Amino acid sequence: MSGDARPRTVLVLAAGEGKRMKSATPKVLHPLLGRTLLGHVLAAAQPLEAERTVVVVGRGAEQVTAHVSEVAPYADTVLQAEQRGTGHAVRVALAAYPELTGTLVVLNGDVPLLRPETLRELVHTHEATGSAATVLTAEVADPAGLGRIVRNEDGSFAAIVEHRDATDEQRAITEINAGIYAFDVTLLRDALEKLSTDNDQGEEYLTDVIALLRTDGHPVATHHAADATEALGCNDRAELARLRKLMQQRINTAWMRDGVTMEDPDSTWVDVTVTLARDVVLRPNTYLHGATRIGEGAQIGPEVTLIDTTVGEAATVVRAQCDGAEIGPECSVGPYAYLRPGAKLARKVKIGTYVEVKKADIGEGTKVPHLSYVGDATIGEYTNIGAATVFVNYDGVQKHHTVIGSHARTGADNMFVAPVTVGDGAYTAAGSVITQDVPPGAMGVARARQRNVEGWVLRRRPGTAAAEAAQRAQASTNTSANPDPGVADGEATSETGRKRGGDAG
Ligand code: UD1
Ligand code: MG
């Protein structure tokens, strides 16, 4: 086809109200596995490499225009201020481009399952047959609401009749108009001038143009879509759900054929924009969104949502939510972890249970295993962060940074009050509130020393079960001949033990 010099223009109709969606969001901006409805249509048309792509906007014009400039900056928009039908939409667009010649590909903005190959074939049929118009048709089980393809006795194309204008006999036809066409621009322009609004909705129907061209003796062709789902439009939320399911099946089947294991494809939702390597395993209830990329042999799920997140080879992510995170090879994340934008894990990092990480570089082999918040931090290699640690990054006005070196061992229940630095190989004691730098190799202790008030319970809570238990324990200690002299010193457990005594920490 590249040898064909005929200029091509793509025109996407996206001005309609989408009444049946009952939404504050314009219909064509509803999302479907990684793109909006309109985004899918533009993506299907892009490989045609048309000289010009135009989107007709109307309902929610500002929003739709902003979206178009984001996802298809090469496209122009034309405003159809009043939505007077699909034919009117095309007429308004063509008025803005009086110089156009060649082939005009017209697409409804709400047919997200259309494939680029099908569109290419439609254009090829159109140009190879020298037709004035070529209509994409499909055979569907339930044609309710759609335009029917009415054929002459010899099978040639006669007209498109809208469902609401159709006779009972015509409604029995299951070949439908997909709302996707190729036209000769010059002939289309003339025919549009002759459109009437003599129909149930009082609108200018683009579909009537086809019959007009036919009546004037111009050749009209049809191209049949082998996969009828490509022609499905979206008019309400139930149809949107159905389209989403079909898109999910299409995406999942393609990935499984490409070497990805899905334990439960039905509960696995992968945006079209995601990339997966070989031998990735996706477990049930996994949602992969946006620019997410998963490396070879990584295991994701169950119950994981990844948004714009990269996962390295052979990593595992279990019951987690990650947004804008980089997870290195062989990392282990979860269960119940939350990685936020800027969380960057090098190789073999462990982020365990009830751990939240934001804007933090975590070095190879480092572990944050339990109940912690790590925000605005740099942590070196092979460091262990004790359970229940909080990186205190926010003073109420500004965020501050914490640096922890390599091979450090921080105690349980620590607060790192940023800005603060803990050096390589340093330790911190359990229950410490670290507000000053800890030099390499030092032990940082920042907590009140424990004090035991002997006999307090017997004096202040006499007669309680606690007092009686204490009395029994004292009696047995007093009668014991040989008390163990080694147990009194608690120092050996101060970094990792969690002794809830008189500490304020
Ligand atoms: C249209 C076709 C129907 C076809 C069906 C396929 C007509 C008259 N009918 O019906 O034969 O089977 O699509 O899905 O064309 N739009 C505008 N401006 C307007 C009206 C609509 O830009 O004034 C846009 C809408 O945003 C939408 C597209 O055109 O993207 C189709 O409009 P819609 O109202 O969905 O048409 P259908 O009734 O579904
Ligand atoms: Mg429609």
pLDDT in tens, the chain (505 residues): 444 568 999 999 999 888 999 999 999 999 999 999 999 999 999 999 999 999 999 999 999 999 999 999 999 999 999 999 999 999 999 999 999 999 999 999 999 999 999 999 999 999 999 999 999 999 999 999 999 999 999 998 899 999 999 999 999 999 999 999 999 999 999 999 999 888 888 999 999 999 999 999 999 999 999 999 999 999 999 999 999 999 999 999 999 999 999 999 999 999 999 999 999 999 999 999 999 999 999 999 999 999 999 999 999 999 999 999 999 999 999 999 999 999 999 999 999 999 999 999 999 999 999 999 999 999 999 999 999 999 999 999 999 999 999 999 999 999 999 999 999 999 999 999 999 999 999 999 999 999 999 999 999 999 999 999 999 999 998 876 554 544 433 333 344 444 443 333 3
The tokens of 393 are what? 């990054």
Residues with CB under 5 A from ligand 2 (ion): 233
The predicted structure's pLDDT at residue 137: 97
342 φψ region: left (φ > 0), alpha (ψ -120 to 50), beta (else)? left
- Asked if the bond preceding 7 is cis, omega within 30° of 0, the reply is no
Answer yes or no: is the C-beta of 86 below 6 A from any ligand 1 atom.
Answer: yes
Picking from 32, 80, 34, the residue whose alpha carbon sits closest to that of residue 55 is: 80
The predicted structure's pLDDT at residue 477: 86
Query: Which of the 8 DSSP states describes residue 341?
Result: T
Q: Which of 370, 400, 401, 407 is catalytic?
A: 370
Give kind and range of the element (H or E) at residue 82.
none
The predicted structure's pLDDT at residue 480: 65
- The bound ligand whose nearest atom lies closest to the alpha carbon of 162 is 1
The tokens of 338 are what? 């939350």
The predicted structure's pLDDT at residue 501: 38
The predicted structure's pLDDT at residue 502: 34
Instruction: Determine the distance separating the centroid of ligand 2 and the alpha carbon of 13, expressed in angstroms.
Output: 10
431 φψ region: left (φ > 0), alpha (ψ -120 to 50), beta (else)? left
The predicted structure's pLDDT at residue 5: 65
**0.75 surpassed by pTM:** yes
For residues 61-72, one letter each, b for 16 or more C-beta atoms within 10 angstroms of the residue's C-beta and e for the rest, the string is beebbebbeeeb
Other C-beta atoms within 10 Å of 249: how many? 13
The tokens of 163 are what? 């469902």
The predicted structure's pLDDT at residue 495: 41
Q: Is 126 an annotated catalytic residue?
A: no
- Nearest C-alpha to atom 36 of ligand 1 is from which residue? 86
The whole-angstrom separation of Cα 23 and Cα 193 is: 33
